[in-house]
Amino acid sequence: MKCRPGMAAVLAMVTCLDQGHAWQAQAAAGGYQGADKMLIPSRGWPCGMPDGIPVPEHGVPVFEATMKLDQAYDVGQTQYGHREVFVVQGGAVTGANINGTVMTGGLDFQLSSSNGWMEVEEILVLRTSEGAYIYLRCPGTAVDRSDVRIVPDFEAPNSSTCNWLNTGKYVGRRVVDMAAKTLKISVFNVANIQTPAGSAEAVRVTKPEGVRDQPWDFRKAAPGERRGDQLITENVTLAASQRVGAAKDRNRNIIPITGGTLTGKLNGKVLAGGADYQNLANPMTIDARYLWQTSEGDVIIVRNAGPINSLVPIFEVRVDSKYAWLNDGKYLSSSPRVGAGGVELKFYESQRD
């Protein structure tokens, strides 16, 4: 199946263009003049389109996903900016060539500052009406909060009827409505849109001076790193696997995280949301993205990833927290083993030989 607009898609495109014109007029009325221009991401967060993200509504509609938010966490001012995290309760996917649901536990990471600049990252799992799971990770950015654009990257099963998602060129619009506790993304195929030349046709994302770039990938252990003092023991509870299978050049298996406990130098709990987004291709790689909450109430973003026997965690917490030492230290993790109702992991300080 290829993404070609049939009559339903054409009608949807006309509707989206009308909505896009209305949205552009509203943004302009608020003083923002970039709504009809290419959006050039910062060099530190290129979103897969460093030369510019086109206006989504200029493309061909693919689908809309409307999600209910389960939780919204204001992490605070971290080493990368003001961080908020939204946990998805679930939702519906509707489009001319794809329909289904958004699975519970998806994460939306949002960075922002007072000048309107924003960077986002969403990690979602879709389930089509035919029962296929799709892994969706998309970065996004904005100069103004009224114009948040995302660049979806799909991993759909190679053997499924939705495998056309693996080869398209997509951008989308992301809208969070905190009053209604909803998150909506609208995805468009922009393969036929040419990037215009000239700075007059683009608006550039400029981050505030001194703000650190957030990492896209996980940290890898350096030669000679070894485990030092043990810091934290974690017991994580898990839901049933959501197997994508062979998709692109990966073999994705997703194990949702539903909770857990923390003991040691940090005491608290593992919050429901996120997952271990495993790549079962050789060598097997774990990429767990989830949240902790300390007994004092601080929310900590955790990414524990790497080859199964060489896991390296990184953390993000507000800079005035008593646990801010997690932001800049280097740590190592044990491999997961069977624990209380799920798996157990131990976290260590990193030492060099």
pLDDT in tens, the chain (353 residues): 333 344 444 444 445 545 555 555 555 556 788 999 999 999 999 999 999 999 999 999 999 999 999 999 999 999 999 999 999 999 999 999 999 999 999 999 999 987 889 999 999 999 999 999 999 999 999 999 999 999 999 999 999 999 999 998 999 999 999 999 999 999 999 998 876 655 568 999 988 888 899 999 999 999 999 999 999 999 999 999 999 999 999 999 999 999 999 999 999 999 999 999 999 988 899 999 999 999 999 999 999 999 989 999 999 999 999 999 999 999 999 999 987 778 999 999 999 87
* Domain 225-352 CATH (choose: 2.40.480.10, 2.40.430.10, 3.40.50.720, 2.40.160.20): 2.40.160.20
| CB-based contact 254:280 (threshold 8 Å) | no
Phi, psi of 152, rounded to the nearest 5 degrees: -65, 140
Residues of the chain with CATH 2.40.160.20: 7-204, 225-352
Report how far residue 91's alpha carbon sits from residue 250's, in angstroms, rounded to the nearest whole number. 26
Report how far residue 93's alpha carbon sits from residue 185's, in angstroms, rounded to the nearest whole number. 10
| CB-based contact 90:126 (threshold 8 Å) | no
DSSP 8-state secondary structure symbol assigned to residue 311: B
Report how far residue 120's alpha carbon sits from residue 297's, in angstroms, rounded to the nearest whole number. 23
CATH topology for 7-204 is Porin (2.40.160)
pLDDT at 6: 47
pTM: 0.91
pLDDT at 78: 97
What token pair was written down for 207? 């981050």
